[in-house]
Amino acid sequence: MIPTRRARLSGLGPDARRAAGERSPHARTAPARLAGRASALCLSLLLGALPASANEDMPMIYPDTKRVDVVDHLFGVDVADPYRWLETDWRRDAEVARWVDAQDKLARSYLAGLPECDAFATRLAALFDHEQFGVPEKRGGRYFSPRLAGLEAQATLVMREGVNGRDRVILDPNRWSKKGDVALAEWAVSQDGSHVAFAMQEGGSDWRRIRILDVDGEAFLDDELARVRFTTIAWARDGSGFFYARFPDAAADEGFETPVAGHAVYFHRLGTPQAEDRLLFETPDRPNLLNIVCVTEDGRYATVSSMPGAGGNALAIVDLEDPAWTPRVLVAETTNAWALVGNVGTKLFLSTQKGAERGKIVTLDLADPDGRFEDLIPEGDAALREAVLIGGRLVLSTIVDARMRIERFRLDGTPDGTVELPGIGSAGGFTGRADDAEAFFVFTSHDAPTTILRYDVAKNAATVWAEPKVEADLDAIEVEQRFFASTDGTRVPLFLVRRKDVADPAPTLLYGYGGYGISMTPFFSPATIAWVEQGGVYAVANIRGGGEYGKAWHDAGRMANKQNVFDDFIAAGEYLKSEGITAPGGLAIQGESNGGLLVGAVVNQRPDLFAAALPGVGVMDMLRFDRFTGGQFWRQDYGDPGQEADFRNLLSYSPLHTIAPGRNYPAILTLTADTDDRVVPGHSFKYAATLQAADLGDRPRLLRVDRQVGHGAGMPTGKAVDQLADMLAFAARWTGLTVEAPR
């Protein structure tokens, strides 16, 4: 279960869907202008790249990589780490920077030699070149929403007076940087619609700066807030200021090497310096918790969710009418997920997994001296993903077999029907108010671009508010759901996307994530369409570790159960081949972040199963992941390398430590970004160096490094298109997909 949008912070763990082509402004990220590729090969040669070839009969010549004598003695096990020096922040180490340059030049030289690259780049540019919309927020009769116009670098924030008014751009990140690498991240509008507090993301970093826009005056206030990371923005009811979360003064200056700690919630009053911000909530006894704030619609209460990572959180509430702002702890343990849905006076509506693995709705009356939670909407057959209080109804987004449905309830818990959706796909992200029948939400699917629906709660009717027009024959695409049995017999869903006329075995790109309770429900991806149009099959396996079936599904793929994730993904690959969906030697796999870990692990366990692998920004060193930036927040899913039982489990599948020399490996294109301060690039650097030094056959093992790009959010369109073209071309080359240039 994912908390409501008011309490949710996406990506506390490694993020999903980063390079799969989901570039919607609804996700607060957006793509940018297509960069030219015509002279890529010539440029790489001029820059001194080592020779590369797309011919598998010609062994790759890799840059020399220094080995150092570093051995850790851990629980009686000697663990060699000869590439420890590659963990050093490249921005502070010239030797690492030179090594990164040489690796990236080699990769780009090779990729530029693939004729499929230009074909995919051209087609992807056309598929991205459509207007994309975000779900609007209604404040003071004004409607605010992100919008991406075609191949712009970043999404803008637009406002209209009235639901049918003319859009006016009020924030344009494309003017903030000539390179298009500064993005609009988190944003929130004051209740009267007069001010917007917004976070600026530079170079893809997780660090933010918050500024404030006077909407009517069309000018920025002098206020500027620093050291902001993993935050929401929650306005006070009177518009005097807002709540946000930040780290201590020195945290933002310590580079990749130091874990961040000391997250705390503050109130910023407009027109005052950040040094005067008032502390609302902190957890000094547990400095590794993240504290996420939201404010009830009536402005009476602030709630703070304190979490050690994904999966569970404590919950506290502050009565803002009490001048002392004294927190009251509602839930002290962090085992289960809790989130505020809304309130009516002193009565709170909350979602929780406590005693309900698929989620339920409970109430708590703050005026009740006993302070007991009361069940309102019991756990059902579907996993609860989101709950909101709009138009006098409780509206729940739930997941059934990795497909979403929307259910309605009255405030007494009585069922009140369902919301009709345009098809099978993903729906949610509701915005609206408890006393207003007008709301908005998003719908998308593998064959349906992200569409914004305007919802009349009283009439239970949804109409299209904004629908993109994509240059593709989506009627020619077929989406099918199947189920396969994993190693232990567990039934696992699998989505297949292909052209309706593709019936024979075909090259297949299999995507997976499997972590943090994140559900891989259907979503529109230009990269998927580009691959499928060429006759390939795109598959998504809803493996354990996600949230498709609630907390139990997540728990079955984390900590000591992590091997289930890899078994599920391997079983998906075997199913695709046994069913004749995938051509012999035609299976490529892809995953980012936690999905990059997935790809690295399964390649080591079954290199014979795959023709190509695309691990992106992956967590590859499972023995040291918690030593960098926010890595300690992932212990909830992976375990603690400092505890012996966890250490031995992590060592059993760590991609860096389980590479198996002497076996023929698939072609591997490892992708990372030099300013990624979530999964630091040292993971991919050490992994690529180890692959290149091992006897794994003649297929290439390359490292592609994006510049001034972080973990994925805020990536400019040009870089997104370039990256995706390289990935698809690499997969096509090694799976045998014949790629025709667009007409």
Known catalytic residues are 593, 711
User: Which residue type does 489 have?
Assistant: G
Sorted by sequence, the CB contacts under 8 Å of residue 688 that are 6+ apart come out as 103, 670, 701, 702, 703
Rounded to an integer, what distance in angstroms lies between the CA atom of residue 87 and that of residue 687? 11
Q: Within a 13 Å sphere around the CA of 207, how many CA atoms are in the beta-carbon half?
A: 20
**667-673 and 701-706 strand pairing:** parallel
172 vs 42: CA distance, rounded Å: 35
| ∠ Cα 573 584 594 (to 5°) | 30
For 556-624, list the strands marked E by DSSP.
582-592, 612-616
Structural contact between residues 441 and 427, judged by C-beta atoms closer than 8 angstroms = yes
3-state secondary structure 216-270: CCCEECCCCEEEECCCCCEECCCCCEEEEEECCCCHHHCCCCCCCCCCEEEEEEC
Calculate the alpha carbon distances from 32 to 23, 26, 111, 515 in Å.
10, 15, 21, 29
Which residue, chain included where needed, has tokens 């345009």?
A: 422
> Do 645 and 630 touch, CB atoms closer than 8 A?
no
Question: Which long-range contacts link 560-565 to residues 24+ away (Cβ below 8 Å)?
Answer: 560/639, 560/645, 560/649, 562/638, 562/649, 562/653, 563/652, 563/653, 564/486, 564/488, 564/490, 565/514, 565/515, 565/598
Distance, CA of 220 to CA of 212 (rounded, Å): 6
Give residues with Cβ within 8 angstroms of 440, minimum separation 6.
Answer: 135, 136, 138, 430, 431, 432, 452, 453, 454, 455, 465
Residue 669 to residue 120: CA distance in whole angstroms:
17
Report how far apart, in Å, the C-alpha atoms of 41 and of each of 63, 105, 110, 611, 726 are: 18, 10, 8, 25, 13
Q: How far apart are CA 120 and CA 641, in angstroms?
A: 41
